[in-house]
Structure 1
Amino acid sequence: MNGHARRGLVLLAHGSRDPQWRRPVEAVQARLAELAPGLAVRCAYLELCEPSLAVAIGMLQADGVAQVSIVPVFLGVGRHVRDDLPRRVQALAAAHPGLALQLAPPVGEHPQLVAVLAEIALAAIS
């Protein structure tokens, strides 16, 4: 394994009782499997469906992952992302002392996503 700790990624979304709601998040997971076949990627949800963030992190650790980046797949930054999520990640880091957890900024704040969304919106009028 070339001396580097195995890395993993959690795509964290809000969650819904509607099973079709998960498709876009799972499509990102599938695309990541194509782009980075050796990367361990799990989807997780804050509420209303499984797996939870804690379960997804536990699965990655059981798979031998030592470093996990958590990517909030949220367009807007509300209370969940701003307040709840950092506290949850801090508690999970304490519960998994051998695991390095990093909380990435929400995807909705990324300039590339903003640009793609603007292009999609413009395409709707052509």
Structure 2
Amino acid sequence: MKIAEIMTTNVALTAPDEKLQRAADIMLSKDVGCLPVGENGKLVGMLTDRDITVRGIARGLGADASVRDVMNTDIRYCFQDQDVDEVARNMAELQVRRLPVISRDKDLVGIVSLADFAHSGDNRSSETLVKGVAVPHH
């Protein structure tokens, strides 16, 4: 099974110069905890609700700060034609719950999350991923 078969294609996007309040509003309205950040048609970062609340607040930033101020620029992604098992193993190793999905032309085409794996019917991949990301922190 390929990632394209299980990924979410209706992905909300934000820009690096967008205000954190607007990005948080998009997350709230779409009921998501993560937004890819795009600029000039390219993926330049990822923004999570945790980036806003923990990194932003820790730095004393407010709602008027820019996405660029707290986004993660170390972008991990997968390709839409990659095998589900391969991506699950990679996500488990990286300990991430979601990855942007790009085409071989490097265009953002979707996002794949722990929930997508859970609903895919591929129990082995789901189990691999859950074991990798659900690591207890002591």
TM-score, shorter chain, exceeding 0.5:
no
Structure holding more helix per residue: 1
Give the structure-1-normalised TM-score.
Answer: 0.31
